Amino acid sequence: MSGPRLYLLVLVALLGLTGLTIYVSYLDIGPFSAPVAFTIAATKALLVMLVFMHLKESHGVLWLAALAGFFWLGILVVLTMSDVATRGVLPIPGK
């Protein structure tokens, strides 16, 4: 399937996922709140990128460019949080 019919299907899926993530936010699922919400968001983003932005029909270098930003954002967040999340673990002031 391709063209407007596929776009419509994706739109319905996106709206459905939005409804789902809002519904889940009203449930008290404790520490699972963030993983669930961001898994749904990542799925939606992937749908937009693959279908609306035509990434699924694109060749390697566009995939590389599309992933580069997210990969480098991961480096920035993970390494910075490796500092923030481990502060005060050692009983040394300031460490």
Partner 1 sequence: MTAAPIVVAPPTPENYLTVDYGVRSWLLTKDHKRIGLLYLMSITGAFFLGGFFALMLRLELLTPEGDLLRAETYNKFFTMHGIVMVFFFLIPSIPAVLGNFLLPLMIGARDVAFPRLNLASWYIYMLGAAFLSYTMVSGGVDTGWTFYTPFSTIYSTTNVLSAALGIFIVGFSSILTGLNFIVTIHKMRAPGLTWFRLPLFVWSLYATSIIQVLATPVLAITITLVALERTLRIGIFDPALGGDPVLFQHMFWFYSHPAVYIMILPGMGVVSELITTFAHKRTFGYTYIALSSVAIAVLGFLVWGHHLFVAGESMYASMVFSLLSYLVAVPSGVKVFNWTATLHKGSVEFRTPMVYALGFIGLFTMGGLTGLFLAALGLDIHVHDTYFVVAHFHYIMVGGMVMAYLGGIHYWWPKISGRMYPENWGRVSAVIIFLGFNLTFFPQFVLGYLGMPRRYWSYPDEFQVLNVLSTAGASILGAGYLLPMSYLLWSLRYGAPAPANPWGATGLEWQVPSPPSAGQQKLAAELGMWIFLATEVMFFGGMILGYTMYRYLYPVAFAHGSQRLSVVIGGINTGVLLLSSFTVALSVHAARTGARRLLLAALGVTIVLGVVFLGFKAHEWRHHYHEGLVPGIHFTYAGPDAAGVGMFFWLYFALTGVHALHLTIGIGVMAVIATLAWRGRFTPAYHNPVEIAGLYWHFVDVVWIFLLPLLYLVGRHAP
* Contacts to partner 1 by CB under 8 A: 3-4, 7-8, 10-11, 14-15, 18-19, 21-22, 24-26, 28, 30, 33-34, 37-38, 40-41, 44-45, 48-49, 51-54, 58, 61-62, 65-66, 68-70, 72-73, 75-77, 79-90, 92, 94-95
SS3 assignment, position 3: coil
The helix or strand, by DSSP H or E, that contains position 6, with its residue range, turns out to be helix 4-25
Minimum CB–partner distance for residue 15 and partner 1 (Å): 6
Residue 90 CA to residue 80 CA, distance in Å, equals: 18
Minimum CB distance to partner 1 smaller for 1 or for 28: 28
Q: Which among 10, 5, 92 is positioned nearest to 55, based on CA atoms?
A: 10
